[in-house]
A and B are shown apart, each in its own frame.
Chain A
Amino acid sequence: MDWSQSLRLIAPEETLSIASLILLLVAAWGGDKAAKLISVLAVAALVAAGVLVAPALCGGAMGTETFAFYGQFKADAFASYAKVLIYISAAVSLVVAPKFFDRFNAMRAEYPVLVLLAAIGMGMMVSATNLITLYIGLEMNSLAAYVLAAFLRTDGRSAEAGLKYFVLGALASGILLYGMSLTYGFAGTTSFDGISASMAHGLSNGALFGLVFVFAGLAFKISAVPFHMWTPDVYEGAPTPVTTLFATAPKVAAMALTMRVAIEAFGDQAHAWQQIIVFAALASIVVGALGAIRQSNIKRLMAYSSINNVGFMLVGLAVATPQGISAMLFYLAIYVAMSVGGFAMILMLTDEHGNQVEDLSKMAGLSRTRPGLALGLAMIMFSLAGIPPMFGFWGKFLVFKAAVDGGMIALAALGFAASVIGAFYYLKVVKVMYFDEPADVVKGESDIWHKLILIGSCVVISPLGFFLTKWLGHLADTAAAALFTAL
């Protein structure tokens, strides 16, 4: 293990770090006028980082040669898979931003830089193989995210969202740190391999407490029930491009991190955390579905929908098999496509003065005034509900297949039955758009980038997406295999 190899393994992070520092200087001297240029360069940096990550993913990198810095960091296929999704999500949240912020004259030069910094943090989260790396990555992402949530300084809701996110995020970090310190105290090491080795022959009570606290902290980050309450407020208050980011990249990062901690650090003690995950999964599915029913704001609805989807993904983790992890990773990819499309859609809902329309009742009869938009949103809703032949069905199908194959039939049956509750509120959106008389509020011109992203994601989630199953399934399998080789 030499430094050159370590540095080569973290090439994507280096690219993004250097790019963000340079762009920060450009921002300092260029001011807000340079914001668009900086955005373009930031997207280019994310694309470059994605290209650097690709070989490890396609080549199925795993094992010891992927360790960097003496086991602090791991650039394997699993991390690469998550990073690609994170970089795509971050790039999308940059692309959709200018049109939104321009109306408030708030397209500030710091926005792309903060997104880049968050992306670096998220990359570290998914590559962490040590509690310390994990925490640094998490905080690096979170600090950038707190600022982003409050980015629209003139808007009271945005400031509120930033504050709520900060206070609750700090609480979660505290819980996580407490769990980590207990784990370190009982395992005597912060590395995942070491923790796994020390717990191979049973779990002491103290270590069990540590494990519970670690999972509680992580549940905050993935907004799983019962630690979900910040999600609707933050999603609603944060500027919509930032919400696009929150709904996708940090979810992927925190989900991948949870998988890595669960499998690599506590893999031998799966029975200890499986019940936590099973509860969190079912509770998230049910609470997410029930909570969404009474929402009239589309962003809050999407927040509950994300809680609901997290529940479905956790079903894959609860099984604790490579098949389950692979299913989760596949689901994450579909989830990113659906969320990105959904938020691009929300950004396109503007009235004639360019103000965002977030109220569900104002979208009434959209299918008659804006048929294309309505069709796109209807596809996303049916996909989120998991109705075949929309591609969203395949994600649910895979996690429940993993659950059935893993012998957890009751979990699969309950989860599927609860998914019917969720279908109700997705149908509500379709009903409002297609069955109600037109309110004729949505009249604004749509940005070309929003359109492109919506079309792109609709193509992925349409039945055409099934042609991706072989290729994406193979990648997800490779990534999942990489996670399990460490055991």
Chain B
Amino acid sequence: MSGFPILSLMLLVPLAAALACLYLDAKSARVVALVATLVDLALGIVLWMNFDVGGAQWQFQERHELFSGFSYALGIDGIALLLIMLSVFLMPICIGASWNSIEKRVGEYMAAFLLVETLMIGVFVAQDIFLFYMFFEAGLIPMYLIIGIWGGADRIYASYKFFLYTLLGSVLMLVAMLWMVHTAGTTSVPELMNYDFDPKVQTWLWLAFFASFAVKMPMWPVHTWLPAAHVQAPTAGSVILAGVLLKMGGYGFIRFSLPMFPEASAQFAPLVWGLSMAAVVITSLIALVQDDMKKLIAYSSVAHMAIVTIGLFAFNPQGLEGSMLVMLSHGLVSGALFLCVGIIYDRLHTREIARYGGLAINMPRYALFFLLFTMASIGLPGTSGFVGEFLSLGGIYQASSWTALICTTGIILGAAYMLYLYRRVVFGDQKNADAAAMVDLDARELIMVGALGLAVLWMGVYPESFIAPMRADIAALDARLARAKPEGDAKLAMGKQKPAHEEAAAHEGAH
């Protein structure tokens, strides 16, 4: 497999299909998009098969000096591999989710989605810091169009908010990148990951990167673009937004902020913990009172992303592995939940929770899968949500027990809002005649939720498949962070019994 530019091919397939879709009619555009995403999925599987677990840190590297100022350098490690797998797995589902529900301007829609796929994969494979930035930023254009053209009633406001919010965060990051390249004299990400910047400057660089990644993540209180964008985006747009685009923030932290600025990361860890604690409690409570299903899931995403950030800033392998697993699991689960919302939205054209009820009676198969994803979102053992959240919280407990305590309430609150949602939509009486008349899942929908359900169970039952490729990379990152690791507040120590004669002496003294 060595020498074959598989990563370039994975970028090229959706790009070429995107250009083709612009010129095709609705029917053929759908087919082309589905075929292209399936080809990319197949390539992704080939990539995973050939990934040498425990081998070199960077694999499948490609490097061409095509441009001045930066180079076309690609390559992946285990972390990037898993996120690429997530992207290519979700893309065919996105195309499937929009098969019937998108009726206007289908060619352009499919082109925008395929472009998003190219850019997402590009973000994860770029090994040149400016190439990364370009992929990272360019994703704004198709997402802006997807939300703005095919979104709901308030789509214009949401699209502007999404674009300008994320752009403002990113430009500060670019200034920091320019400075780093000027100082370190290289644009290569692996080299920069091992370059030691002056700790005083790290503070500023870290903040600049934080401005971008915190918005992308999104962290409280800069999360407000997310509910707006999610609610207005079409179903597939929400799936990809929650499934993969949010992971770019986490990927940014794990690839840039932590290894490049270990001292600053340690310095700002309490800030991250504080924001994460606030996010878990506040957004969970907000989710509890939503009437709109998509908004509820959007707020739950913010809460889950906070579990990711505490894991990342726990400075130990459990936390890092846990946050990666939460990212992967959340990608699947929130994507699946948005899909579940989309399925009933396609039938009734409303996201209002009160308009549904008693779906278990007329849509039993739907109720089953919705239950599975609800449980995975809560973090029930046996589903993907459990493994990641447990590791993340276990990791942060070593660093800060208060953070662990408060963030764990997120699981209770998560159970509250998810079960409450499930009860209102699926259980109870069939109080709305039109909701009661809805038909159960068709074959297309069954395939999509079935695939997601299998992945969720696989990750819950045998997470080793997903931890193995990234174990060495997490260990390397942990070693890099070791020098700046903040001291934990637990101060665990083995209890040591005092020698008997000292004890006796102490007793005598007391007399």
Contact = CB atoms under 8 A, between A and B. Distances in A.
Contacts of B178: 400-401, 404-405, 412
A404 B175 contact: yes
A400 B174 contact: yes
A417 B171 CA distance: 6
A420 B175 contact: no
B140 A387 contact: yes
A230 interface: no
A387 B171 contact: no
Interface stretch (B65-73, B84-92, B333-341): B65-73
A70 interface: no
Contact of B105 (A368, A388, A419, A420): A368
Contacts of A367: 108
Residue picked from A368, A398, A431, A470, most chain B C-beta under 10 Å: A431
Contacts of B68: 469-470, 473-474
A312 interface: no
A81 interface: no
Contacts of A474: 68
B171 A420 contact: yes
B169 to A, nearest CB: 9
A367 to B, nearest CB: 8
Contacts of B134: 388-389, 393
Given A420-B171, A431-B156, A435-B156, A467 B137 contact: no
A413 interface: yes
Given A387-B137, A388-B138, A417-B168, A409 B175 contact: yes
Interface string B117-147: 0000000000000100111011011001100
A259 B134 CA distance: 30
Contacts of B175: 400, 404, 409, 412-413, 416
B172 interface: yes
Contacts of B369: none
B163 interface: yes
A434 B171 contact: no
A368 B104 CA distance: 10
A407 to B, nearest CB: 9
A397 B159 CA distance: 25
Contacts of A382: 141
Interface residue tally on A, bucketed by range: 20 to 34
B68 to A, nearest CB: 4
Interface string A379-407: 00010000111000100011011001100
B435 to A, nearest CB: 31
Contact of A427 (B105, B108, B130, B163): B163
Contact of A419 (B67, B156, B171, B182): B171
B216 to A, nearest CB: 15
B466 interface: no
Interface in B156-171: 156, 159-160, 163-164, 167-168, 171
Contacts of B250: none
A166 interface: no
B230 interface: no
A366 to B, nearest CB: 13
A76 B117 CA distance: 47
Residue picked from B108, B168, B175, B179, most chain A C-beta under 10 Å: B175
B149 interface: yes
B149 A404 contact: no
B148 interface: yes
B485 interface: no
Contacts of B140: 387
B330 interface: no
A389 B138 contact: yes
B294 interface: no
Contacts of B247: none
Given A387-B138, A404-B182, A435-B148, A416 B171 contact: yes
Contact of B69 (A401, A412, A416): A401
Nearest to A436: B156
A153 to B, nearest CB: 42
A371 B22 CA distance: 10
Given A387-B137, A388-B133, A431-B148, A424 B164 contact: yes
Nearest to B204: A409
B155 interface: yes
Contact of B67 (A404, A405, A466): A466
Contacts of A397: 69, 130, 174
B164 A420 contact: yes
Contacts of A389: 134-135, 138
Interface string A113-142: 000000000000000000000000000000
14 contacts: A382-B141, A388-B137, A389-B134, A389-B135, A401-B178, A416-B175, A423-B167, A430-B145, A431-B148, A431-B160, A434-B149, A435-B155, A435-B159, A469-B69
Ordered nearest first, which 3 A-B pairs have the shortest CB separation? A388-B134, A416-B171, A404-B178
Interface of A: 367-368, 371, 382, 387-389, 393, 397-398, 400-401, 404-405, 409, 412-413, 416-417, 419-420, 423-424, 427, 430-431, 434-435, 466-467, 469-470, 473-474
Given A413-B175, A420-B171, A427-B164, 9 more contacts: A387-B167, A388-B137, A393-B134, A404-B178, A405-B178, A413-B172, A419-B171, A420-B167, A473-B68
